[in-house]
Amino acid sequence: MIIKFYKTIHNKYSSFFAFIFYLRYLFTIFFISLAIFLSIPTFLDHDKKVEDIKFYLSKNYNFKVKNYEKIKYNIFPLPNLDLTNVQIDLGPIEEIFIVKRLKIYPDFLSIYNYKNFNSKKIFLKDSDLKFQISNLKSLTEQLFNKKKYLNFDNLNLKIINENSPVITVNNIKFANYGYNKNLITGRVFNKNFEIDLEENYKKLNFELLSSGIKAYIDLNENQKENLKVGTFKTKILNSNFKTNFEYDGKVIKIFNAYFRSKNLSLKNKSEIILKPFLDINSKFVIEDFNSKILKKINLNRFLEFNEFLKKINNKSEINFKSKKFNKKFIDNLNLEIDLAYGKMIYSKKLSNTTHIIQCNGSINFLEEYPLLFFDCFIKLDNKQKFLKKFSIKMKNKNEAFELKVRGNLNILNRKVNLKNISTSDGYVASKEDLKYFKDTFENIIIDKNFLGIFEFKKVREFIIEIS
């Protein structure tokens, strides 16, 4: 029966099976020919055709190749031209882009036809770029806003202002095609981050992974030429910040800004000038404030940025008005600061229903041991009510009182130097008195750190000691 079945198949379908077996030779010839077609460029001298490749990169990516070490052709995993140690001129930005591996994946018909060269995508591996912060907008458009397929792997950006470093972003990965299209990942401040670009780069979602920091930028549709207008939102742990902004490449204007956290709420309006120097003008209105946050300030850490402070010009005004009158030591605060080349000049006024405290002075943060110079005037309308703020009871102290104090304070070594102390009743402190006040102030107020001057308990203990 089986033999009869095979005979029937052989008689009726022999020509069909013969055709199938014939195709195997055609497929073999096809794959061999394809392998030869893809392999031959391996033996060609591609340096002779590199000018055509440069022209293609300049025309389609605006990458002007200035120099390269060598070029070779690879078959696997897909046919590609591999250029090593490439120096790319980014044109108007005047920045040199260094790429260790630049792979170009040509179209099938472009493997031999360099005159009409075209590629499916290019791949940039291990790249480094240092650029001025003023060129950030142009650079973003130059690198990321491409119609042709582009893939970055391990791009390192170093942003500077003049010759001073601003920020470094490492290990950037980005592709404008595929499953992770317009998703930027990388590392900044020793933490990984993700940026998701939406709607033709008009919306940006940023997240610093494992840190609780998120940010969102939404650019308005109707924009003037060279002017970016939008909204910026960020969340840092339990803190929220929202603002509107305008940016024209030279100046950033911040308005309708609002910050809120458990210990601080404030409004802000600022103008940040990027050229020719970093110049900041700000006005802050504090709505709520918890003095406990002052304990978290690390002065040593702050002073490590002295090189950065040299490049900042900052004029700021800070205002605070307490919502709980007569329950706090401060009802109103006005602080004006002017920072230039590391030296800050300040003017401070604290007021309450019982007192006014005014201080003027300066500090140079660039010195090894910065000295805070102060010239203060304290006016008490009612000494008894003032002392009551500190739960100190004294008899016959209803009269007004004025005090003048001048000196300087070493904020790192916690040493105070009192030049002069005088009161409205004619008292002028002697050398012995000045030494006594100095020792008492150092032992009670700044025994642990400079910020002890903001601790209510320490101030109370100091008043009791010298009374």
> What is the pLDDT tens value at each position of the chain, 467 positions in all?
555 545 555 555 555 555 565 566 666 666 666 566 566 677 677 788 888 889 999 888 889 999 999 999 888 888 889 999 999 988 766 678 999 999 999 887 777 777 888 888 999 999 999 888 777 777 777 777 788 899 999 999 998 877 777 789 999 999 988 888 889 999 998 889 999 988 677 788 989 888 888 899 888 866 566 778 889 999 887 889 999 998 887 888 999 999 998 888 999 999 988 776 778 999 999 988 877 777 777 777 777 777 777 778 899 999 988 765 444 567 788 999 999 988 999 999 888 777 888 999 999 988 888 999 999 998 888 777 777 777 777 665 567 888 999 999 998 888 999 999 998 888 899 999 999 999 998 898 888 777 777 777 888 888 887 77
CA–CA distance, 56 with 218 (Å, rounded to integer) = 34
Give 342: exposed, middle or buried? Use CB within 10 Å, 0-12, 13-18, 19+: buried
| Whether the Cβ atoms of residue 421 and residue 440 lie closer than 8 Å to each other | no
CA–CA distance, 352 with 76 (Å, rounded to integer) = 77
Identify any residues that bridge with 131 across adjacent strands, giving them in sequence order: 159
196-245, pLDDT tens digit by residue? 988 677 788 989 888 888 899 888 866 566 778 889 999 887 889 999 99
How many Cβ atoms sit within 10 Å of the Cβ of residue 408?
19
The token duo for 86 is 């490439």
387-419, pLDDT tens digit by residue? 777 777 766 556 788 899 999 999 888 899 999
Radius of gyration for the chain, computed over Cα atoms and rounded to the nearest angstrom: 35
For residue 411, what are the CA distances in angstroms to 310, 330, 408, 450?
Answer: 19, 23, 9, 5
Rounded to two decimals, the pTM is: 0.67
The token duo for 42 is 């391996």
CA 29 to chain centre: 59
- Arithmetic mean of pLDDT over the chain: 83
Helix (H) or strand (E) holding 34: helix 2-39
Q: Residue 444: phi, psi to the nearest 5?
A: -105, -55
